[in-house]
Amino acid sequence: MWIAYGLLGVSAAALLWAAFIFGHGLVLALQGRRLDRQRHSTTPQPWRVVARKDHGACIQLWLHACRGRWRWWRGNIRGGQYLTLQVALPSGPQSRRYSLAALPHWSWRHLAWLHELAIKREPLGQVSTWLHDHAHSGTVMWVLPPAGHFTWPKTLQGEQVLVAGGIGITPMRALTQEWLSRGCPVPLTLVWSVRNMSEWMDYRSQLEAWAARHERLRFIPIFTGHDEAWRGLKGRLTGTRLLALSQSGRPAGVWMCASSTMMDSLRTQLRQAGVSDADIHFEAFTAPPNSDTATYLLHWADRPVPLRFDGQPSLLAALLEQGIAIDHDCRNGSCARCLVRVLEGSVRQVLSPEARQPEGWVLSCCVVPCTALRLAGAARGP
């Protein structure tokens, strides 16, 4: 640089230097924008597990993207978002969404943003079983970048209540972290109900420490299993109990991530207690049980005999049950493989999909019919 000063004079060299900084900034900004756009694509990237911690039925994993520009890209990743992991099982590839358990944190050791997941081994869950058995430090998996809409709105008003059932704590922990980083703008109550002590992992003591430090945060762990040593709250969480546990008795927002049975009963009870649907937010990774008992006819392509929808959780489930070979994978709106074309009739969205649906097409794993339907087109989509 001093040589440039000598040869060109101070002002020309300063100009060159400014142009270099500006050009560099522009390249980084453009690359960030490109990555932001790619983040919504359905092209998976290789990610490496760099650490793992076991807690009986649950494991914590820390991983980062392997490719340079992705590992250095922090992006606008929000509390409440998830990663979609794709794993090759002997029965074929499968993908599953797992909520991020924390906001990304920079690791100098790995020169990358690390992302944390906590995964419970589900007795019938092929992907969670595979992850428990095979995901160790060094394992590389194919992952779709963070996505999801279960995030805080721009402005928060009134008390917010987070309800986690078991491993449903993961998005709640990240949402709490983001609330802390925003300076605790409103009172926050986090209620966490678990049946198995191993589900506490390290998170319970950490959340207790956060609540001790921040006056506006109330953390209420509830244990629903059997353990004489447990001195805290016990028993089932109901809508009325939840309102009584909140700081104001009438929260402005209730956010839930738990089993679909727990979320369904809480939603019904909260509605009965006067909480409006608009104030209840929930994260569901597969379609919840369908409470609509009506039956609808489904006219599929050139099949002469109509099929029936009989209260299955999704249109996809109904079509598969009746022998229609629809391509599918994730069952939660991220892989975009279960597209079907709706020629007549209307559907109701039961999951909000990540993948885009072209005009006239629906992701059959995310909808149920509200009328008889005439469906057509290749199940592989346009």
Residue ranges binding ligand FES (CB under 6 A): 328-331, 333-338, 355, 363, 365
Q: Judged by CB, which is closer to ligand FES: 201, or 320?
A: 320
Q: Judged by CB, which is closer to ligand FES: 246, or 286?
A: 286
Helices 203-213 and 169-181 cross at an angle (nearest 10°) of 30
Do residues 80 and 257 touch, judged by C-beta distance below 8 A? no
Q: Judged by CB, which is closer to ligand FES: 99, or 334?
A: 334
Two tokens at 205? 């003591």
| Shortest CB 333 distance to ligand FES, Å | 5
| Shortest CB 320 distance to ligand FES, Å | 10
Q: Judged by CB, which is closer to ligand FES: 86, or 193?
A: 86
Q: Which amino acid is at 229?
A: A
Report in angstroms the alpha-carbon separations of 29 from 35, 82, 147: 10, 24, 20
Q: Judged by CB, which is closer to ligand FES: 211, or 284?
A: 284
Q: Judged by CB, which is closer to ligand FES: 211, or 336?
A: 336
- How far apart CA 299 and CA 321 sit, in angstroms, is 15
Contacts 24+ apart (CB under 8 A), 350-354: 350/287, 350/288, 350/290, 350/313, 350/314, 351/284, 351/286, 351/287, 351/314, 352/149, 354/40, 354/84, 354/147, 354/148
Do residues 74 and 113 touch, judged by C-beta distance below 8 A? yes
Q: Judged by CB, which is closer to ligand FES: 96, or 267?
A: 96
| Shortest CB 319 distance to ligand FES, Å | 11
269: phi then psi, degrees, rounded to nearest 5? -65, -35
- How far apart CA 267 and CA 286 sit, in angstroms, is 17
| Shortest CB 167 distance to ligand FES, Å | 22
- How far apart CA 338 and CA 354 sit, in angstroms, is 13
| Shortest CB 93 distance to ligand FES, Å | 12
- How far apart CA 78 and CA 157 sit, in angstroms, is 18
Alpha helices in the chain (DSSP H): 2-8, 10-38, 68-71, 126-134, 169-181, 203-213, 239-245, 260-272, 315-321
- How far apart CA 277 and CA 89 sit, in angstroms, is 39
| Shortest CB 38 distance to ligand FES, Å | 19
| Shortest CB 30 distance to ligand FES, Å | 30
| Shortest CB 89 distance to ligand FES, Å | 16
Q: Judged by CB, which is closer to ligand FES: 80, or 333?
A: 333
Q: Judged by CB, which is closer to ligand FES: 85, or 172?
A: 85
| Shortest CB 368 distance to ligand FES, Å | 13
Two tokens at 10? 């101070």
Do residues 139 and 48 touch, judged by C-beta distance below 8 A? yes
